[in-house]
Amino acid sequence: MTHLLPPEFFTATVPLNAYLILSAILFAIGACGFMFRKNIITIYMCIELMLNAVNLSFVTFSYQFGKVDGQIYSFFVMVVAAAEAAVGLAIILTIFRNRGTLQIDEIDTLKN
Amino acid sequence: MDFILLSILKTAIAAPVLLGTLAYLVWIERKVLAHVQLRMGPSRVGPHGLLQPIADAIKLLTKEDFIPSYVNHVYYWLAPWLALMFAVTAISVIPIGPIVEIFGVKTNMGQADISIGLLLILGLTGMGVYGIALAGWSSNNKYSLLGGLRSSAQMISYELPMALAIASPLLIVNTLNLREIVNGQAGYVFGIIPNWNAVGGLQMFSFLIYLICAFAETNRIPFDLPEAENELVSGYNTEYSSMKFAAFFMAEYANIITACSVATTLFLGGWHPIIPNELGGQFIPTLICFFFAGVLFYHALNPARPSDRLSMGVIGAIILGLGLMFQVPVVKDLAQPLFWFASKAGFLIFVFIWVRGTVPRFRYDQLMRFAWLVLFPAALLNLLLTAFVVAAKSN
Amino acid sequence: MTLEAFFFYAFTTLALGGATLAITRRSAVHAAISLMVSLLGVAGLYLLLNAEFLFVSQIILYIGGILLLFLFVIMLVNLDAGRGLRQFHQRWPLGAAVTAIAGVAFAILWSRAKLPPSQTMPDVGNVELVADTLLQDYLVPFEVVSLLLLVAVVGSVLLARKRA
């Protein structure tokens, strides 16, 4: 058995468009949250959500073309997200230590 | 037979056995620990305290389920069951025997036989951290939060050397399917030394690293900082009582079973016997059972207490029957792999309890330093050496 | 309903529901847990798309690693002490409207797209396939990414260190 799910499982009842639509909606939700949240950590989480939506469409196309390259891109996105989370959270911790807040509109020392 | 029906059937057999094992593991641990410390251990409920787990279960079920008023209710409820769920699910991919044929149905001994079994176990144990972290946070108690944070940090840190230690035998067996990993360890070097990864495969070092990390991953002494009684009251489960506490308890034991089973499949050759069957390996289970039955019959004839005459005799007869069962033609194919797997995993579980009885606890900074400065470089070096050896062999 | 359709809709519900909760919950811990549910849903979809390796790396890397780190930081800075503060931007309906329009537009676009019939993957295990491609065709990016990770580790340690 080369795959986790048995072959009888795949009846092709769900068109691949459905995955792409889901990916678009997920991305929109992520972008929405990115715009209206005010806390740095939640904004970060919204970015992760958007990255995931993109990953989903990469994997869908990888399935579509029968090539594994899309999955590799997704894997790279995950690794970059991990690196980004490590550095980003370190920055967040430093900001919190210096300013005692994580609200983005209170971190405005460069403004005036 | 239908895939789904077969899965349900196997689960129906495995789930009660697993829950019973979890309950009796507590009894075994208390008994072994007591004998390490020259005590008797549980001995009041039933002969030799054998009914103690049932009494414990009834006690925990009927206890008042006290919920402090300041907890976060949703996550307080969710956390213990989350921890238990991930701990138990991980066991489902472990193969306890080869593919067998019962009543004309060919199936593997184990719940699921999947291509990425080992990775899935890593993932599920990683998700188990959520239960503990959430329990610590939702209890709204500084000791619980400290315990939860400590445990997340500890588990993340020890997952790295653990994954590296797992990677080096993978280089040798070249697959992620646990059944194929076991099959890759079949055979004997020079016809007598088992070709297991920890023995013939020369992976003792990664076996050792894996075992140390397993102690940390299951929050056992000497790495039981998340629940260090004398500094954190009881860590993340301070505010839990009744069944929710029992769920954490069961999750911990399920994690021990998983860790020991993975070590068995990965390093100790799974269900393969220690001596080739041609040299009499298939008679070892029977001989061991006969030995224990003999000891019990001896005690039944020279009882220390009047009740021993009956209890020792009955248990001895059961074990004698078990020993004979290993030679019955049809049952044999099923029982022998099961025996070897259970005895190897059981021995590892015994080591866990043994260590608990003898080793003191680490300090928290020592624990972290040990993970990052000793275990991690050692695992990395081990992986590198194995890779070089494998590359040299393949050329 | 076939099994495939059932699981697709189940995972879709998880992904969308979790995502919606993640951006609307006030408490950061709630948001993180909702995000975990959403990521689990996406992981399930990877499984339906025969991408087992990504399914597991999503669980190990994203859920067991990145998101746990988020949760860790949230608990460390005790973020929920400030949950009474303003969590949403004042002009949030505008942002929501814009993204909703964009999302619906893309969804309509994709629903009308005619994809050519899908090709089948070579019949070896997914992990083997990913490993071969990653270490042969994508060896240079792979090394660059590992360098990036190293830089990130050193950088984050340096950043989070307490100033003496």
Kindly report the CA angle at B87 between B344 and B150, in degrees rounded to 5? 105
Show the tokens assigned to B382.
């081990």
* Cβ pair C89:A38 closer than 8 A: yes
* Cβ pair B148:C75 closer than 8 A: yes
C134 vs B110, residue with greater confidence: C134
The Cα B208–Cα B212 span in angstroms is 6
| Helix residue spans in chain C (DSSP H) | 3-24, 28-48, 52-57, 67-76, 92-112, 126-136, 139-160
The Cα B106–Cα B47 span in angstroms is 41
The Cα C31–Cα C21 span in angstroms is 7
The DSSP code sequence of C133-153 is: HHHHTTHHHHHHHHHHHHHHH
pLDDT score for A1: 45
| C126-144 pLDDT, tens digit each | 888 888 889 999 999 999 9
* DSSP character at residue C112: H
Q: What is the CATH number of the domain that holds A51?
A: 1.10.287.3510
> Residue C64: which of B127, B145, B176 has the nearest Cβ?
B127
The phi, psi pair for B185, rounded to 5°, reads -100, 10
The Cα A2–Cα A22 span in angstroms is 27
pLDDT score for B142: 79
| A26-66 pLDDT, tens digit each | 999 999 888 888 888 888 899 999 999 999 999 999 988 88
pLDDT score for C110: 82
- The chain A residues in contact with chain B (CB within 8 A) are 1-4, 6, 8
* Cβ pair C107:A65 closer than 8 A: no
| B312-326 pLDDT, tens digit each | 888 888 988 888 888
Show the tokens assigned to C3.
């099994």
- Tell whether the model's pLDDT for residue B1 goes beyond 60: no
How many B-C residue pairs are in contact by the CB < 8 A criterion?
Answer: 62
CA atoms within 13 A on the CB side of C140: 1
Ranking B45-49, B282-286, B367-371 by mean pLDDT, the lowest is B45-49
Host domain of residue A62:
38-112
Q: Which residues of B touch A6 (CB under 8 A)?
A: 3
| B24-39 pLDDT, tens digit each | 898 999 999 999 989 8
The DSSP code sequence of C86-97 is: --B-TTHHHHHH
Q: Which amino acid is at B361?
A: R
The phi, psi pair for C116, rounded to 5°, reads -65, 155
* Cβ pair A4:B113 closer than 8 A: no
- Dmax over CA atoms of chain C, in Å, equals 63
| C64-110 pLDDT, tens digit each | 888 988 888 888 777 666 666 666 777 778 888 888 888 888 888 88
Classify residue B340 by burial, with Cβ atoms within 10 Å: 0-12, 13-18, 19+: buried
Determine whether domain C1-82 maps to CATH 1.20.120.1200: yes
CB C67 within 8 A of CB C39: yes
Per-residue confidence at B176, pLDDT binned at 50, 70, 90?
A: confident
Cβ density class B52-83: b for 16+ within 10 Å, e for less: bbeebeeebeeeeeeeeeebbeebbebbbebb
pLDDT score for B43: 83
Helix (H) or strand (E) holding B100: strand B97-102
Q: Of A2, A3, A4, which to mutate for an interface test with B (greatest number of B Cβ within 10 Å)?
A: A4
Q: Which residues contact B382 (CB under 8 A, 6 or more apart)?
A: B164, B165, B168, B205, B206, B209
pLDDT score for C26: 81
The Cα C157–Cα B173 span in angstroms is 36
The Cα A57–Cα A61 span in angstroms is 6
Helix (H) or strand (E) holding B109: strand B105-109
Q: Of B1, B93, B115, which to mutate for an interface test with A (greatest number of A Cβ within 10 Å)?
A: B115
The Cα A34–Cα C102 span in angstroms is 14
Domain residue spans of chain C: 1-82, 123-164
- Residue whose C-alpha is closest to residue C11's, from C43, C35, C36, C33: C43
Give the SS3 label for residue B362. Answer: coil
CB A50 within 8 A of CB A31: yes
Average pLDDT, chain B: 85
B387 vs B226, residue with greater confidence: B387
* Cβ pair A93:C160 closer than 8 A: yes
The Cα A77–Cα A83 span in angstroms is 10
Report the pLDDT averaged over residues B157-169. Answer: 89
B171 vs C81, residue with greater confidence: B171
pLDDT score for B383: 92
The Cα C17–Cα C30 span in angstroms is 13
Give the SS3 label for residue B352. Answer: helix
- Tell whether the model's pLDDT for residue A4 goes beyond 80: no
Report the pLDDT averaged over residues B197-204. Answer: 78
| B332-348 pLDDT, tens digit each | 888 888 888 999 999 99
Residues in a beta bridge with A103: A39
Residue B266 CB neighbour total at 10 angstroms: 27
Ranking B90-99, B102-111, B206-215, C122-131 by mean pLDDT, the lowest is B102-111
- Tell whether the model's pLDDT for residue B257 goes beyond 60: yes
Q: What is the ipTM of this complex?
A: 0.86
Q: Which residues of C touch B129 (CB under 8 A)?
A: 64, 68
Report the pLDDT averaged over residues B81-105. Answer: 84
How many A-B residue pairs are in contact by the CB < 8 A criterion?
Answer: 10
A97 vs B374, residue with greater confidence: B374
The Cα C38–Cα A60 span in angstroms is 17
Per-residue confidence at B377, pLDDT binned at 50, 70, 90?
A: very high
